Amino acid sequence: MMYVIMLTGCVQSIPVKKSVIQKAPKWEQLVEGSSLKMNVNYKYYPSEMKLNNNMLLREKKWDGFLQKFILSFPVEERDDILRGLTRFHKDYDRVEKLIKFEPLRYSSGPYSSNSYVSVKGSLDKKGAIALLKIQYYGSSWLFANSITIVADDFTWRSSEVEFFRDNTGGVVWEYAFLDLSNPKYRTVVNKIISSKEVIIRFQGKQYYKDLDVTERMKKDIASILKTIDTVNGK
């Protein structure tokens, strides 16, 4: 498009860029039995599906393994399974024949270059297993060996816990896992997701660091726990 501006003694043409027209969302059901919907007018659809829970789902993963898995469950169970899995990064292990999930890897998200608490695990039609992952991320080593969790008026202190450690480019991370099949740890995680204020302390011999658990972390954990319980028939 060109606008022509006429001034005394000259004519000047100024190019004007066409505005980008964003189509209004058009929501269609992702799968029978789920309240999740996909925006078929999303600019990257269908290679990337924007869902009405603000999550993104790759078509390659949906068509590659996730849809088949979801459809293997009764209609009334599908929503609980999908709502949790769509909040996590997931891949299919073709050797072990399992869907593996872990915290999202988005560089702008809460699990990249941050301390966090989340869930990592795997599932198939036979059942699901899951570990609570608690990670410290910072510029200095803590050499953490235990964890204290304060959730409102509830306090839990671990005995010595095995921490894994790594580093790159001047930052370090230390993380531990708690097996959620253990009722003691399941009680702890239930307190985390149901409490208003949750603080996790990474404790070393000389130093410690605190993590304030965000609402996003709580919601992600609560959603994936519902997925795990549904797959396990609880």
Domains and CATH numbers, the chain: 114-234 (2.60.40)
Q: What is the pLDDT of residues 69-90, one digit of tens each?
A: 999 999 999 999 999 999 999 9
Task: Give the C-alpha distances (Å, rounded to integers) separating 188 from 87, 179, 184, 194.
Answer: 21, 11, 7, 10
**DSSP H or E run through 71:** helix 67-71
Rounded to whole angstroms, the Cα distance separating 71 from 54 reads 22
- Ranges of the chain with pLDDT below 50: 1-8, 16
Percent of the chain with pLDDT strictly greater than 90: 87
- pTM of the predicted model as reported, rounded to 2 decimal places: 0.88
CB of 230 closer than 8 Å to CB of 77: yes
Tens digits of residue pLDDT in 98-120: 999 999 988 878 899 999 999 99
- How far apart, in whole angstroms, are the C-alpha atoms of residue 206 and residue 178? 23
pLDDT value at residue 109: 82
Q: Which residue has the tokens 């795990």?
A: 228
Tell me how many degrees the CA angle 123-126-127 measures, rounded to the nearest 5: 45
In this structure, what is the dihedral angle of CA atoms 171, 109, 79, 26, given to the nearest 10 degrees? -160
Residue pair 145/204 in contact (Cβ under 8 Å)? The answer is: yes
